[in-house]
Structure 1
């Protein structure tokens, strides 16, 4: 499974992103991400769940774009803090942490390791 993640907006307007290939990261992290994708019923979510103009009214609103690819099938969901479905929020939190840990392209920094895995 491959995941492409981007978070933008917020008070500072900083954008962070990461790409994760679950075949290239520790098994525990890969299983955690896979579980969160499944728990969110990610492939059943609309591309822009609950998106409306009032969803972007706050200056500190975070916006998310998540693309998951499994066996050649790809699905993208774009949402914001106020419109993110409850079941998607654990995945957004974990991907946000990975993106903050490694704001450069190339995948997450593996916790407890100084080596970057790709």
Structure 2
């Protein structure tokens, strides 16, 4: 099975702007918001769409993004890939899940 090899996660300008807005509203750091976003997207149960990276925003390194829970997030992604028979490469799928989940975060419900 594929292993997660990405070292830095590149965000689209739109996702970066949403992360900034969510941080201002919630006080949560972008890495914590991305962890929540990832989980919300995985819960959706469908393959996330491709990302328009025409305009790029911030980058977050992998350790900052997942921290000591990297093994858990990687395992969750691998199980999701098996369950939904995804053929998308694991690094791309991880980034897609984070990007799809960012707009799913509703600061009024946190």
TM-score by shorter chain over 0.5 = no
Shorter-chain TM-score range: under 0.3
Q: Greater helix percent: which structure?
A: 2
If you compute each CA radius of gyration, which structure gives the higher value, 1 or 2? 1
Instruction: Indicate the structure whose relative CO is greater, using CA pairs within 8 Å and at least 6 residues apart.
Output: 2
TM-score normalised by L of structure 2: 0.28
